[in-house]
Amino acid sequence: MEPSVHTSTATASRMADRVLLRRYKPHSTINAATIAENVEARRFLPGPDPEAVIVVIPENARFALSFVENAPWAVLGLDRVTHVLAWVAEGELFQRLKDLHVTDPPPGIHFQVFPHMQEAVSWVERILATHDLA
């Protein structure tokens, strides 16, 4: 079994050396503070910093849309440690998040929102195989 790290809002584990999987817990509040907590927690997983992160967000999560609208990616340092970011948003949350990011992805990060995990995994694998992220 892969090692995992648990925070107040999510569980993180490695899918591969270069890929981190973060699953937010049902009814979690996702905002700048909880995202920062999870970014920091991944340091406790063995191995190199992952280049890609797949984030699974349950439909009943409380997502602070003000966080997304204010584009705090650089403030949290995501642009320094993450090159590929895939969000898997369940149910109606998918369209809400996708609409927010169609024209304004995080700078310097390959970013996409998906309705299903397998689509996200395939996209991440394709980006890692075809882009020099070093």
Tens-place pLDDT, residues 92-109: 877 777 776 555 666 678
Residue 9 has pLDDT above 90, yes or no: yes
SS (H, E, C) the chain: CCCEEECCCEEEEEEECCEEEEEECCCCEECHHHHHHHHHHHHHCCCCCCCEEEEEECCCCEECHHHHHCCCHHHHCHHHHCCEEEEEECCCHHHHHHHHHCCCCCCCCEEEEECCHHHHHHHHHHHHHHCCCC
CATH number at residue 53: 3.30.750.24
Domain that includes residue 25, residue range: 4-130
Query: CA 112, CA 95: separation in Å to the nearest integer?
Result: 12
Structural domain count of the chain: 1
Residue 22: count of CB within 10 angstroms of its CB: 23
Q: In this predicted model, which residue has the larger pLDDT, 5 or 92?
A: 5
Give the pLDDT score at 117: 96
> pLDDT band at 63, cuts 50/70/90?
confident
